[in-house]
Chains A and B, each alone.
Chain A
Amino acid sequence: MTRNWWCAMALAAFSFSAMAAGARPTIEELKARPVLDDYESNIVYGYNIVMETQRYAPRYVGSRLNCTNCHLKGGTQPEGFPLNVEGVYPRWRAKNGVRNGLGLRIRDCFLYSLNGVMPPEESPEVQAVAAYIHYLSEGEVIGRPPDRWGVPTLPETGSDPNPARGSVVYKQKCAACHGADGQGTAAAPPVWGPGSYNAGAGMNNVQRVAGFIWANMPLGSERSLTHQEALDVAAFLHIQLRPFDPRTTNLWKLVERIAQAVSSFFGAGKP
Chain B
Amino acid sequence: MRATAAILGMLREVIPDLRWRRAVDGRREIVSGLAGALLVIPQAITFAYLAGVPPEFGLYCAVFVGLLASLLGNSPMVGGPNTSVSILIAATVMPFSGRGSPLYLEFVFVLSLAVGVVQLAIWLLRGAHLFRYFSPAAITGIKTGVGILLISSALEGTLGLAPLSTQFFYEKFDVALTAWDSTVNPYAVVTSAVTIGCGLALRRRWCRSYIMLAVLAGGVMGCGLYFAYGPVTTQLELLGHVTLRAWPFQVPRVTPQHWLFLEQVIPSIFAIAVLGLAQSLVIARDLKARIAPDIDLHKEVFAQGVANMASPFFSTFAGSGSFNRTAVAVEMGARTPLSGIVAAFAVVLLAWVLGPLLTYLPMPAVAGVLALVGMGMIRRREIRPLFQSFGDAAVFSVTTFSVAFLDLSTGILVAVVASVVFFMVRASDVKLTISVEGEQERIAVTGNLYYASVDGLAKHLRTDPTRDSVLDLSRVPYCDPFAVSVMEAIRAERERAGGRLEWAAG
- Which A residues form the contact surface with B (CB < 8 A)? 34-38, 41-42, 44-45, 58-62, 96, 111, 116-124, 127-128, 246-249, 251, 253-254, 257, 260-262, 264-265, 270
Contacts and interface: CB of A to CB of B under 8 A. Distances in A.
A116 B240 contact: yes
Interface stretch (B100-108, B319-327, B441-449): B100-108
B101 A251 contact: no
Contacts of B162: 121
7 contacts: A34-B255, A37-B103, A59-B54, A127-B100, A247-B232, A249-B229, A249-B230
- The 10 A-B pairs with the shortest beta carbon distances in the complex, nearest first, are A124-B100, A261-B356, A59-B240, A254-B227, A41-B103, A249-B230, A58-B243, A35-B257, A117-B238, A45-B102
A111 B101 contact: no
B230 A247 contact: yes
A122 B103 contact: no
Interface in B231-258: 231-233, 237-243, 255-257
Given A116-B240, A117-B238, A249-B230, A35 B100 contact: no
Interface in B49-91: 54-55
Contacts of B167: none
A124 to B, nearest CB: 3
B227 A45 contact: no
Contacts of A248: 230
Contacts of A249: 227-230, 233
A128 B99 CA distance: 11
A177 B241 CA distance: 28
A123 B227 contact: no
Contacts of A34: 255-257
B240 A38 contact: no
Nearest to B228: A249
B163 interface: yes
Contacts of A45: 101-102
A35 B255 contact: yes
Contacts of A35: 255-257
B7 interface: no
Given A45-B101, A58-B241, A124-B104, A261 B357 contact: yes
Given A34-B255, A36-B103, A58-B243, A124 B359 contact: no
A41 B104 CA distance: 10
Given A38-B98, A59-B240, A60-B241, A264 B228 contact: no
B230 A246 contact: yes
Contacts of B353: 265
B230 A42 contact: no
Contacts of B242: 59
Interface in B341-357: 353, 355-357
Contacts of B103: 36-38, 41-42
B227 A124 contact: no
B360 interface: yes
